[in-house]
């Protein structure tokens, strides 16, 4: 039997990966997390297109809901003693959308639009992606006999919801856009809103080596 025949036989015997049969209830909750994050980004696009403040509120409210689903998926997986092989990857992808890209898009929509602001927002997203990748690589070595991780290295990416809460407060007191809280600094042809440094600090904390106990 030649190599091509052997490969064909292996392909025929290999069971196809069924997405629906593999899904667990926890995965559905993880997808709900991602849906909320994506919905938040679309609401921000609507705000930029229409100028309606109501879309900003929709975007802000969806992210704490995403956080609820992010907490719930792990609890449900442990309660049902069942997780799918997709779980970890789904969780990371959903978190990048809901707690990385969506908060950055919120900052842009709320007025952080100078070149330096955008650079900081991109840095924040890159830190979030790196933080999740590091966790996926090191989770095995940090887990105990039961498979539970006792601590995080760096702040978890869902902590970016604190930034979302800050934007909610600033929106409520009308300190976004031209009346941005803390104003802005001019550096010749470029400018920087000091508020964008909150994203810089959050991103830097994510990729730090500080140990954060897992609750």
Q: Judge whether 147 lies within some domain.
A: yes
Per-residue pLDDT at 7 exceeds 50 = yes
Q: Any idea which of 22-26, 29-33, 89-93, 120-124 has the lowest mean pLDDT?
A: 22-26
For 120-137, how does the pLDDT look when each residue is reduced to its tens digit (9 = 90+)? 999 999 999 999 998 888
Residue 68 lies in a domain: yes
Q: How far apart are CA 37 and CA 66, in angstroms?
A: 7
The mean pLDDT of 181-193, rounded to a whole number, is: 87
Kindly state whether residue 76 falls inside one of the protein's structural domains.
Answer: yes
Q: pTM of the entire structure? A: 0.83
CA distance 167 to 56: 10
| Structural contact between residues 59 and 40, judged by C-beta atoms closer than 8 angstroms | yes
The domain that holds 147 is classified in CATH as: 1.20.120
Phi-psi region of 111 (alpha: psi -120 to 50; beta: other; left: phi over 0): left
Can you list the alpha helix ranges (DSSP code H) found in the chain?
A: 3-13, 19-22, 25-50, 53-80, 87-95, 102-110, 115-142, 161-172, 197-206
Q: Are 155 and 210 in contact (CB under 8 A)?
A: yes
Encode pLDDT of 66-90 as tens digits: 999 998 877 776 665 555 656 677 8
Tens of pLDDT, residues 147-185: 566 677 889 999 999 999 999 999 999 999 999 998 889
Asked if the structure places residue 18 within a domain, the reply is no
Q: What is d(CA 63, CA 58) in angstroms, rounded to the nearest whole number? A: 9
- The answer to whether 192 touches 117, Cβ cutoff 8 Å, is yes
Domain range for 120 is 23-213
Distance CA(42)–CA(40), nearest Å, equals 5
Has residue 81 been placed in a domain? yes
- Does 8 fall in a domain? no
Does 184 reside within a domain? yes
**Structural domains counted in the chain:** 1
70 lies in some domain:
yes
């Amino acid at each position: 039997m030649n190599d091509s025949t052997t490969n064909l036989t292996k392909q025929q015997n290999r069971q196809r990966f069924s997405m629906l049969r593999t899904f667990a209830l926890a995965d559905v909750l993880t997808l709900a997390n991602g849906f909320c994050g994506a919905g938040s980004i679309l609401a921000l696009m609507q705000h930029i297109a229409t100028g309606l403040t109501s879309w900003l509120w929709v975007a802000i409210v969806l992210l704490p809901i995403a956080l609820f689903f992010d907490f719930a998926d792990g609890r449900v997986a442990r309660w049902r003693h069942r997780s799918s092989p997709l779980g970890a990857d789904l969780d990371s992808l959903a978190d990048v959308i809901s707690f990385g890209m969506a908060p950055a898009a919120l900052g842009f929509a709320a007025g952080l639009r100078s070149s330096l602001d955008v650079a900081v927002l991109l840095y924040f997203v890159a830190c979030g992606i790196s933080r999740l990748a590091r966790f996926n690589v090191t989770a095995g070595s940090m887990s105990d006999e039961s498979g539970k991780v006792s601590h995080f290295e760096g702040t978890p990416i869902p902590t970016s919801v604190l930034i979302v809460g800050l934007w909610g407060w600033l929106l409520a007191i009308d300190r976004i856009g031209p009346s941005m809280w803390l104003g802005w600094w001019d550096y010749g042809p470029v400018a920087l809103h000091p508020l964008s440094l909150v994203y810089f600090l959050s991103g830097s904390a994510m990729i730090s080596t500080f140990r954060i106990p897992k609750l």
